[in-house]
Chains A and B, each alone.
Chain A
Amino acid sequence: MANLNVIEAVRFYVRRMIEDCHDNIKGLIMDKETASIVSMIYAQSELLQKEVFLFERIDSTGQKSLKSLSAICFIRPTEENLETLVRELHDPKYGSYYIYFSNFLQTNAIKTLADADEFACVRVIQEFYADYLAINPHVYSLNIPTTYHKYYEWNDSVFHRTVQGLVSLIFSLRSRNIIIRFQKSSNMARTLADQIYSTVKTQTDSIASNINDTSQTIVLIVDRREDAITPLMNQWTYQAMVHELIGIKNNRVNLSQVPGIKKELEEVIMNAEHDEFYETNLYSNFGDIATNIKALMEDFQEKHKNQSKLESISDMKTFVETYPQFKKLSGTVSKHVTIVSELSRLVGLYNLLEVSEIEQNLVCQSDHNDIVQKIKRLIHDDKVRREDILRILCLYALRYEHQSNNELNALKNEAQNRQRLSEKNIHFIPALLNYGGQKFRQTNLFNIQTPLAITRQFIRGLRGVDNVYAQHVPLIKDLLEQLLRGKLKDTFYPNVNAKDQINPNNRNSANQLQQQGQIIKPSEIIVYTIGGITYEESLHVHMMNKQGARIILGGSYVHNFSSFIDEVMAGAS
């Protein structure tokens, strides 16, 4: 059974837009956000093959008429976009317009557009719910870098965008019967869950009323504040590592800081959809990548040797025929070799192996004295970056928050004396404790209490730790395991629909089943994390999906440590 795939979901929409426009020459008009949405899944050359010859931003269309061109507009239904579109229709540059909105349209907006279309150029007005970035088949993001507003509450525009994004995701996957579970301790999660529930309910009546589908989708809404640890850790799998150490933004990686970088490699695109090596190695750990890249290089060198032995005309012909693949391969090789060697340079330069080992031990082991000694040693190691010292101190602060022999202040002072902690960073530690400290959390993050954790601890004790750098398992994995086994407690993660059970008219089959004490098997689970996800979590969900789970993971953003600092600070002030 093929898993649901968010990349495929967006691709369906874009492909349909282009195919439904039968005219020859097409232009694609997008706004800033939809341009990112499309660029995540289609390369420009791919669109060119579909006779899309012009890519424009709605806010910067030219003056000269191109009447023989048809415009496919794929835009978000924002005020500004609607205004710009009205102006464009009053004075059309294109011969016809095929308009697709990425979300719900108000009736009065349709009327305004219809009134503006005096030249009768509009051929299509549709809602296509591709209002999110599809990052990997099972990972999406709404591309909102900072969700939290003052004192960790919603601000209206972010809330609106979040509701739109999440509902569009649900509809793009053709889910209509949803059960929403949310994290009770988070007001933001509760507000969002309520709004999603009512929006999906009202909209399905007009969108999918005739679809007879009884499958259930569970939407799990959690708040990053419950697990502030995962974004603090250094990572050792390829995608996560690149994001942590260099940074991935809309599949682009900026390598301009790499010493001696060649001009054409200053910005590279890392898209698993178009890059076989990346696709197979997204979740490989650092050691394996080195082996794999060696194989890639040897393959390339072998090919290159063949290519350079051009002795006869027939060799030449083979060369011409295989040249496109060869060129592509050489691009892939130089890209990954550059990135992997940069990663290994950074690992050595900043002593990241040692840092990471201490991080993992801090989270997963419990020898307090030992760890304090190790942290002290790290503070005195000049190779270690300041931000890594901050990570460690943050982890320590969270781990031993209410421990009587807490030495946080001593460690902070020591770091400051060694000038390893900047003024700004000192403020981050209390902000983080306020963000994700014990006062907020409803479960013990470092607990040894859940049966799962106990089992894990037990097995670990038997086998010994086989990978010191991958001891930590993100909370979301435990939550998902509990959810699947029907063990996720209603007291901590209540169900929005629960009140419907009181009303007999609203009683649907799912509720009846629930009342009979049966666990409803969902057809898939959608996770939304307020405050963003990490690639480490993506890795764990990927592994679950490989073993038959159908889980889509996403959140407001994909964080690394530095973007997470900004996120936490934005809510603190």
Chain B
Amino acid sequence: MLQTIGDTREGFLCPQCHQDMGNLEMLQVHFQNVHMKQSSTVVKGISLLFEFVSSTMSNAEQVNKLSIGLNSKYFLGLFSFAKQKLKSVQNNFQNSNEPSKIYSQYFSFDLHDYHSKKQYMGFTRSHYTYFQIVRKDKLHEIYTKTQQLLLRLELLTNINEQIPPNGNTKERRKYEQGIIPWMEDSVVSICSSCSASFGFSRRKHHCRLDGLVICNQCSRFILFSIARRIVDSNTSSTNNSFTIQQLMNLKTITSSTIINNASNEDHLRICMSCARCLQNYYRQIFFKNIPKDEIFHYYENIIQAKKEYTQVQLTYVAIIDSILSGNTKYQIKDAQQVYRQLSVSYEKIDSTSKKLVAFADKCPNIDENDISSKARYATLCRNIRMYAVQVLQNFSLSTRRVPTEDEIKQARDAKQRSDNELMGKVILSIPGINGKTLELSEELKPFIQQYYQVVQYMQQAKLAGRDDEVKLLESNLEELAQAMRVVHQN
């Protein structure tokens, strides 16, 4: 699709498919064979309209009859008939060529509005302040509760350091109850979660985190290892990334049944509301640690390259302008060097965005079955590529190629000529110097050039309104003229 700035741009490119055809003949043949047919379909459509119009004309007797008196040979058909009869509705409104503003008198104009002649953005209303107040309260509430639970969780998972794992169950229970007092069994007759009454088949259990009485169905279980990692992610800053890495692989942190894994690991029974609170906390960690998707790195690269291009382009334009106005400040190789820089950025945008298109087809890290996410991801990649293509198109249209030696020579000659012309005029204006004799005098040349420059400076100073400078330069000129007269007389 896209042509690049490199060498190929100066080859025999087809303007439509940008293939290099090698030589002019091949290119013409290719263009006529492949593209002329395509674009002529539109023209065909137009000629169809003409055909249609003329066929209407010949077939519809009635129309012919009605259009007697119209001697337009072209477009003599339904259209002209319609046009003749349908004098524009506008005629009803406009009597002369200039539309009179007859209605203005009925409207008042806001003075402020009137001066600026401008429409302003409509009213808006922000609710963010109130939103933030409510959210702050809510987040604070969640934070307090979570911190409390995490503290208890930390103490509970430390149980093995206090009491050996194979120790007395009673003592372990006492330790647990020391962290959060358990609700008395006797005062509870229904599950605090599902409100079903306890009985022979529905036994009472305690949540280790808040001490509420719950049934087995409403219990969740959290492994010590997971619990410790969650606690760690909250407290320790060291080793954090490793802990989080481990956590990121989990879907949920609690389970509804006791998992008997190989090591027969310790676990805690907790109620659903505590489980939910921990799960939310876990999701917060998860969300914070979602890595940046690769496409965003690519995108940032594109933006970076775009910035570079825009910056370098400024220099490039200045160089080209300078060269083409015949100045000798820059050489052709300066322009070529900067042009190469531009090409590098251009290439970078092009290749990076092309990689994104490849991503659109692969959709890495997305579940095979998640079609909507895949489609979204692909659209995103393709749209970024499209954006890049637009950027590149603008660049290639706004960047002139490096001028050829011939063009530079022409520009310099032109400049030389106009300089000489000007200088000739200046010389004639120098008081006390005869223009004709001057041409022979080599000694005077540097003076004249100097004089010419000062005249130019003075013009600039006059334009800018720097009167002091003008005066100074005027005296300079006077001195120069004086000096020249001296040399001339010698």
Contact = CB atoms under 8 A, between A and B. Distances in A.
B311 interface: no
A547 B108 contact: no
B296 interface: yes
Interface stretch (A181-189, A285-293, A390-398): A285-293
Contacts of B110: 213, 215, 523
A290 B49 CA distance: 10
A54 B89 contact: no
Nearest to A206: B125
Contacts of B125: 126-127, 206-207
Contact of B86 (A113, A215, A283, A286): A286
Interface string B99-114: 1111111111110011
> Which 9 pairs show the lowest CB-CB distances between chains A and B?
A287-B83, A548-B104, A548-B101, A172-B122, A114-B134, A521-B108, A62-B373, A549-B103, A290-B79
B224 to A, nearest CB: 27
Given A1-B114, A53-B383, A68-B292, A344 B121 contact: no
A208 B131 contact: no
B49, B100, B123: which has the most chain A beta carbons within 10 Å? Answer: B123
A452 interface: no
A467 B87 CA distance: 5
B447 to A, nearest CB: 44
B128 A126 contact: yes
Contacts of B135: 114-115, 117, 120, 122
Interface of A: 1-2, 4-5, 8-9, 12-13, 16, 24-25, 45, 48-49, 51, 53-54, 56, 60-69, 91-92, 105, 107, 110-111, 113-115, 117-120, 122, 124-130, 171-174, 206-208, 213, 215-216, 236-237, 262, 283-288, 290-291, 294, 297, 300-301, 304, 307-308, 310-311, 313, 316, 319-321, 323-324, 330, 333-334, 337-338, 340-341, 344-345, 347-348, 353, 466-470, 484-485, 520-524, 539, 543-550
A463 to B, nearest CB: 10
B351 to A, nearest CB: 19
A493 to B, nearest CB: 16
Contacts of B299: 24-25
Contacts of B114: 1
Given A54-B380, A111-B134, A467 B86 contact: yes
A308 B397 CA distance: 21
Contacts of A13: 121-122, 124
Contacts of A348: 56, 60, 63, 78
Interface stretch (B246-254, B386-394, B404-412): B386-394
Given A215-B110, A287-B82, A466 B75 contact: no
B48 interface: yes
B290 A291 contact: no
A110 B290 CA distance: 28
Interface residues of B, number: 103
24 contacts: A4-B119, A16-B121, A25-B299, A53-B380, A64-B373, A65-B287, A67-B292, A69-B380, A107-B130, A118-B142, A284-B88, A287-B83, A290-B79, A290-B83, A310-B15, A310-B28, A319-B15, A340-B49, A347-B82, A470-B86, A470-B87, A485-B106, A523-B107, A523-B109
Interface string B130-169: 1111110011001000000000000000000000000000
B376 interface: yes
B120 interface: yes
Contact of A287 (B53, B80, B117, B367): B80
Interface string B375-387: 1110110011011
A242 to B, nearest CB: 15
B368 interface: no
B124 A127 contact: yes
A9 B119 contact: yes
B440 to A, nearest CB: 45
B403 to A, nearest CB: 14
Contacts of B239: none
B126 A126 contact: yes
B372 interface: yes
Given A9-B122, A115-B135, A544-B103, 8 more contacts: A1-B113, A49-B387, A54-B379, A64-B365, A174-B123, A208-B123, A521-B108, A547-B93
A308, A319, A524: which has the most chain B beta carbons within 10 Å? Answer: A308
Contact of B56 (A4, A45, A288, A344): A344
B170 interface: no
Nearest to B46: A297
A130 B121 CA distance: 11
B387 A53 contact: yes
A467 B91 contact: yes
Interface stretch (B35-43, B202-210, B212-220, B459-467): B35-43
A420 B93 CA distance: 38
B13 interface: yes
A347 to B, nearest CB: 7
A185 to B, nearest CB: 25
Contacts of A468: 85
B406 to A, nearest CB: 14
Contacts of A344: 52-53, 56, 78-79
B69 interface: no
B370 interface: yes
B121 A521 contact: no
Contacts of A172: 122-123
A520 B397 CA distance: 55
B90 interface: yes
B290 A67 contact: yes
A110 B106 contact: no
B358 interface: no
Contacts of A66: 293, 376, 380
B366 interface: yes
A573 B397 CA distance: 62
A468 B91 CA distance: 13
B92 interface: yes
Contacts of B75: 290-291, 294
A173 B24 CA distance: 59
A133 to B, nearest CB: 15
Nearest to A301: B43
B265 interface: no
B436 interface: no
Nearest to A318: B15
A129 B122 contact: yes
Nearest to B291: A67
Given A53-B380, A301-B43, A8 B119 contact: yes
A290 B290 CA distance: 60
Interface in B7-49: 12-13, 15-16, 24, 28, 31, 36, 39, 41-43, 45-46, 48-49
A565 to B, nearest CB: 25
A285 B89 contact: yes
Nearest to A112: B134
Contacts of A469: 85-86
B131 A546 contact: no
Nearest to B299: A25
